[in-house]
């Protein structure tokens, strides 16, 4: 299964690399957008001394984890964003008619080239800020790897959940909900303790972006690594199964084009 | 003009057809607005002083509300309609219609933004009525100066989206172009952070781009903030950028028409 998945991604990247200009433009677009994102805390810190006792380097490390997770999701699971269009145009019929898991087909469909730029930029930032914060050692790197994997699973699950909502309402092949959820999640680029309790609950348990960047950096700050790691792992597993459940529940609601 | 109105009406009809989607699309930005309030509330709560970057809390809160109204006039899907059509080839139907390509593109976006503008206006008014004590509501003079500035800002925004969409004729990756455009717009227009908070050098560079004239300047006008240039010059700069975008459209679309091959038909 994994071999087929990687083979499909390999074919996508080969196809895309045939169009050199397009390939590089997508790559650069990923980097440009993230450079601008990371400039925001820089500007904020020009005007205020600190945010709830967090240094700008820590905020940027949070962003690095988010960028890596976003980049990986874009490279590996871009197909999720095609669900609304597949459902509206009836392309989902062909997904259901194949003798392979629909979820596997959706996940392996397409590839977000910009994700490569985002991923590379995120990795560079992560190493830079780990080094700045004195965390660039074997333990820090291994923990970061764990956070990245869990972050990627959480983000993929959120994308799948939000895009699966199109099975329940007629969206004309386009919906803003996944983008809105993603926008709300972006508030987890900053320490969530600064927000009111309701927002903290949203960012931790409803749109759990907090577990992608803030909680890992909090773990480094506080040192209760086992508890934090178990929490992150637990959320990844819960959201993975929840999104899978919602996706398959949604399929039952799908009205075919009549193949 | 009649064609523009007709196409705009069709676009509104199309937007209104999917009701659930319409309602969700119209009101989802409100959630993002709430998030922005919480963020800046937290930022001001961290401060010992009254202002951040010389902007008082009330002024910043009003800025967020007004910037929301000016910024969220088009949804992701409406912004990318032309780009998507170019990517999947259905754009050909636009090329063969006896209406100018630019008129079709503009009227479609205007049609999509009218319902959103009405809702945004309602949200801004509701915000001012409900939270007026915490805001700095604009005066009548400011509103009068704002209206032409806002209309020009909307046209500028539409032209910017149109030009970026045209570039999709040269690449299959419309998403990349859209993201670059959105990131540049959100950052340099002051949608995320007011340009007044930027460091001096960055501020000077920002005012040389068209982006602040699409959001920061119109909102700044309403708030009575100091403008980088006098008001008549603001209008002239906006018109100049519009002319510049129009010329770009003529050049890019001319080149596209020369190289466009329509298969079938």
For residue B47, name the pLDDT band (cuts at 50, 70, 90).
confident
CB contact under 8 A, A184 and B35: yes
Name residue, tokens 């240039």. B229
Contacts of B202 in chain A (CB under 8 A): 43
CA distance A17 to chain B (A): 12
Q: What's the whole-number average pLDDT of chain A?
A: 88
pLDDT at residue B35 tops 70? yes
- The closest CB to that of B35, out of A25, A113, A187, belongs to A187
What residues have CB less than 8 Å from A82, skipping those under 6 apart?
A106, A109, A110
- Per the CB < 8 Å rule, is B199 touching A43? yes
**Each residue's pLDDT tens digit, B156-212:** 999 999 898 888 888 777 777 888 888 899 899 998 889 988 999 999 999 999 999
Where do runs of H (alpha helix) occur along B137-198? 140-166, 174-188
Strand locations in chain B, DSSP E?
51-52, 55-56
Res. B66: pLDDT tops 60: yes
Query: Region B57-83: what's the mean pLDDT?
Result: 82
B179 vs A177: CB contact, 8 Å cut-off?
no
Q: How far apart are the first and last CA of chain B?
A: 29
The answer to whether A114 contacts B52, with C-beta atoms less than 8 Å apart, is no
* Residue B49: pLDDT over 80: no
- The answer to whether B90 contacts chain A (CB < 8 Å) is no
Where is pLDDT greater, at A192 or B137? A192
Q: What DSSP string runs through B207-226?
A: HTSSGGGGTHHHHHHHHTPP
Q: In A, which residues are within 8 Å of B28 by CB distance?
A: 176-177, 179-180
Interchain pair A44, B38: CB under 8 A: no
Q: What is the pLDDT of residue A172?
A: 62
Distance of CA B221 to CAs B126, B157, B205, Å?
Answer: 20, 18, 20
Separation between Cα atoms, residue A115 and residue A20, nearest integer Å = 16
- The reply to whether residue A171 touches residue B18, judged by beta carbons under 8 angstroms, is yes
pLDDT category at A72 given cuts 50, 70, 90 is very high
Residue with more model confidence, A91 or A229: A229
Q: Which of B169, B196, B150, B203 is nearest to B94 (CA)?
A: B169
ipTM reported for the complex surpasses 0.95 = no
Mean of the pLDDT values across residues A17-40?
A: 85
Q: Give the rounded distance of the alpha carbon of A62 from its chain centre.
A: 13
Q: Which residues of B211-246 are buried (b: 16+ CB within 10 A; e: fewer)?
A: bbbbbbbbbbbbbebebbeeeeebbebbeebbeebe
**Residue A93: pLDDT band by 50, 70, 90 thresholds?**
confident
A170 touches chain B (CB under 8 A): yes
Q: Reduced to 3 states, what is the DSSP secondary structure of residue A259?
A: coil
Cβ contact, residue pair A48, B176, below 8 Å: no
Q: Residue B227's pLDDT is what?
A: 86
Q: Which of A17, A43, A53, A183 best tests the B interface by mutation, with the highest count of B CBs <10 A?
A: A43
Q: Does A20 touch chain B (CB under 8 A)?
A: no
What would the mean pLDDT of A31-35 be, rounded to a whole number?
Answer: 90
Compute the Cα dihedral for A218, A224, A228, A233 and give only its sign.
Answer: positive
Region for A53 from its dihedrals, namely left if φ exceeds 0, alpha if ψ lies in -120 to 50, beta otherwise: left
The reply to whether A183 touches chain B by the CB within 8 Å rule is yes
pLDDT at position A5: 82
Is residue B243 classed as helix, strand or coil in its secondary structure?
helix
Burial of residue A95, with CB atoms counted within 10 A of its CB: 0-12 exposed, 13-18 middle, 19 or more buried: buried
Between residues B94 and B151, which one has the greater pLDDT?
Answer: B151
232-251 of B, contacting A, C-beta below 8 A? none
Is the entire prediction scored with pTM above 0.90?
A: no
**How far is B224 from B63, CA to CA, in rounded Å?**
11
Per-residue model confidence (pLDDT) at position A259:
46
Average pLDDT score over chain B? 83
To the nearest whole Å, the CA of A26 is away from the closest chain B CA by 5
pLDDT in tens, B111-132: 888 877 888 888 888 888 887 7
CB of A26 within 8 Å of a chain B CB? The answer is yes
Long-range contacts for A124-131 (Cβ within 8 Å, ≥24 apart)? Answer: A125/A38, A125/A60, A125/A61, A125/A63, A125/A64, A125/A67, A126/A61, A126/A64, A126/A65, A126/A68, A129/A57, A129/A58, A129/A60, A129/A61, A129/A64, A130/A61
Three-state DSSP state, A51: strand
Give the per-residue pLDDT at B26: 66
**Interface contact B47-A48, CB threshold 8 A:** yes
Residue B249 confidence (pLDDT): 92
Contact by Cβ (8 Å): A129, A42: no
- Give the nearest chain B residue to A32 (CA atoms): B180
Kindly state the tokens that stand for A222: 């506080």
């Amino acid at each position: 299964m994994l071999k087929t998945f990687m083979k499909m991604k390999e074919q996508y990247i080969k196809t895309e690399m045939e169009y050199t200009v397009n390939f590089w433009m997508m790559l650069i677009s990923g980097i440009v957008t993230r450079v601008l994102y990371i400039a925001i805390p820089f500007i904020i810190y020009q005007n205020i001394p600190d945010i709830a006792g967090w240094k700008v380097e820590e905020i940027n490390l949070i962003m690095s984890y988010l960028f890596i997770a976003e980049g990986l999701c874009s490279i590996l699971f871009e197909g999720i964003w095609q669900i609304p269009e597949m459902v509206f145009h009836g392309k989902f019929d062909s997904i259901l008619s194949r003798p392979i898991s629909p979820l596997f087909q959706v996940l392996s469909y397409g590839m977000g080239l910009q994700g490569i730029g985002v991923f590379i930029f995120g990795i560079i930032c992560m190493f830079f800020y780990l080094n700045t914060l004195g965390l660039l050692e074997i333990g820090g790197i291994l923990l970061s790897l764990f956070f990245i994997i869990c972050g990627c699973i959480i983000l993929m699950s959120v994308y799948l959940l939000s895009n699966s909502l199109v099975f329940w309402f007629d969206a004309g092949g386009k919906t803003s909900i996944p983008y809105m959820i993603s926008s709300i999640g972006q508030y987890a680029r900053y320490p969530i303790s600064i927000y009111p309790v309701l927002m903290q609950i949203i960012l931790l348990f409803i749109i759990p972006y907090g577990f992608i960047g803030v909680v890992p950096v909090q773990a480094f700050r506080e040192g209760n690594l086992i508890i934090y790691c178990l929490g992150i792992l637990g959320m990844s597993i819960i959201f993975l199964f929840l999104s899978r459940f919602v996706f398959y529940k949604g399929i039952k609601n799908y009205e075919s084009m009549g193949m | 003009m009649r064609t523009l109105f007709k196409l705009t009406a069709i676009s509104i009809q199309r937007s209104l057809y999917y009701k659930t989607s319409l309602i969700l699309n119209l009101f989802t930005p409100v959630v993002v607005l709430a998030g922005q309030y919480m963020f800046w509330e937290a930022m001001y709560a961290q401060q010992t002083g009254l202002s951040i970057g010389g902007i008082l809390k009330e002024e910043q809160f009003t800025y967020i509300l007004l910037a929301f109204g000016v910024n969220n006039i088009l949804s992701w899907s409406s912004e990318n309609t032309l780009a998507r059509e170019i990517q999947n080839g259905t754009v050909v139907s636009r090329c063969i219609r006896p209406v100018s390509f630019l008129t079709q593109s503009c009227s479609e976006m205007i049609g999509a933004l009218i319902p959103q503008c009405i809702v945004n206006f309602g949200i801004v008014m509701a915000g001012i009525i409900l939270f007026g004590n915490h805001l700095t509501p604009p005066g009548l003079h400011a509103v009068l100066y704002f209206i032409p500035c806002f209309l020009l800002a909307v046209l500028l925004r539409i032209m910017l989206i149109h030009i970026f969409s045209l570039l999709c004729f040269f690449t299959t990756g419309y998403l990349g172009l859209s993201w670059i455009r959105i990131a540049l717009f959100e950052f340099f227009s002051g949608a995320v952070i007011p340009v007044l908070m930027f460091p001096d050098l960055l501020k000077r560079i920002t005012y040389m781009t068209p982006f602040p004239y699409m959001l920061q300047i119109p909102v700044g006008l309403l708030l009575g903030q100091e403008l980088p240039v006098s008001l008549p010059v603001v209008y002239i700069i906006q018109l100049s950028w519009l002319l510049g975008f129009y010329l770009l459209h003529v050049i890019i679309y001319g080149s596209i028409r020369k190289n466009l091959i329509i298969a079938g038909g």
